[in-house]
A and B are shown apart, each in its own frame.
Chain A
Amino acid sequence: MILSNFEIQKAIDEGRLIISPDPQPRNPDQANCPYATSAVDLHLASALSVPKSGAFNYDLSQGGIATFLARNCEHVDIPKTGYVLKPHLFVLGRTQERITLPIRAEQTLAARIEGKSSFARCGLLVHFTAPTVHAGFEGALTLEMINLGNAGITLYAGKAIAQLILETVLGAPLANPSQFQGQTTPAGTSQK
């Protein structure tokens, strides 16, 4: 079930969802309210990672892919005048917001990141796979951005570039064998 803007705010107030910094203002009547009826906007951070082109292939059957990717990218800080994402160029970005989806015995949330239709009309994808933010996640969201249009798109740090859709998870997720270690009831009460 997708959460409404009111339910998203309620989840934040109850600690079932942490978005830092807290999206403000909450009232849709106010200017720059980041809440749509069933989503909340996320903003682009200033750091971009631009993968280099070269005479190499990514071979996922080989070890050390993370190191290889990190060594073969350019670090860019978006200037105040903006960064022009050229047609068909792929870059990584991040959201300014850190998202935390605590795993709880009840009412755990998961989320999906989506683009915004205004940017989509220019040809911008902010993710093209892996939109799910799983229960238990904590951190800023990485954006896989590509310009599929025929003209450059200027990106600005702080711009609302994506939106987060919140959904309820049916049942309590089991993240790993030790997650409920020491608990003696399904609700998670531990007995000392």
Chain B
Amino acid sequence: MSAWVRCSIERGMLPGEYAVEMDTIDVGRISLFAPEDKVRVEQNLMSVQKLNDGNGRGVLVRLPAQPFEISSQNVSVPRNNLINE
């Protein structure tokens, strides 16, 4: 299921991508270059795939690209930062 996660978005290194920073439950703040069709720049939202509802305050999601800080595209994000489609 697709959802939107709150994040900060800036111009990327190359056309067609944006530099994104976002908070996670388990590994703190992470950053990645997301394809332009996966972000809503004005709303500071990035499209993610919700993998499960998780427990407590975290929800496991799959990111559209791999972040620099960890070696997985799957991360837990704060439930409050997630907007269901």
Contact = CB atoms under 8 A, between A and B. Distances in A.
B78 interface: no
Contact of B51 (A65, A70, A139, A176): A176
A176 B62 contact: yes
A86 to B, nearest CB: 19
A66 B51 contact: no
Contacts of B28: 63
A47 B51 CA distance: 35
B57 interface: no
Given A66-B19, A66-B20, A176-B62, A60 B68 contact: yes
Given A63-B69, A69-B19, A92 B49 contact: no
Contact of A47 (B15, B19, B49, B69): B15
A64 B31 contact: yes
B16 interface: yes
A176 B49 contact: yes
B49 A178 contact: yes
A71 interface: yes
Interface string A125-145: 000000000000001101000
A8 to B, nearest CB: 24
Q: Is the interface of B mostly helix, strand, loop or mixed?
A: strand
Contact of B29 (A47, A63, A92): A63
A57 interface: no
Contacts, number: 66
B11 interface: yes
Contacts of B29: 63-64
Interface residues of A, number: 23
A67 interface: yes
Interface residues on chain B, size class: 20 to 34
Nearest to B34: A66
Nearest to A73: B13
Given A60-B68, A63-B30, A63-B31, A70 B21 contact: no
A63 B30 CA distance: 5
Interface in B29-56: 29-33, 35, 49, 51-52
Contact of B68 (A49, A66, A176, A177): A66
Interface of A: 45, 47, 49, 60, 63-71, 73, 92-94, 139-140, 142, 176-178
19 contacts: A45-B15, A49-B13, A49-B14, A60-B69, A63-B28, A63-B29, A64-B29, A66-B21, A66-B33, A67-B8, A67-B21, A70-B19, A71-B19, A94-B14, A94-B16, A139-B16, A139-B35, A142-B14, A176-B49
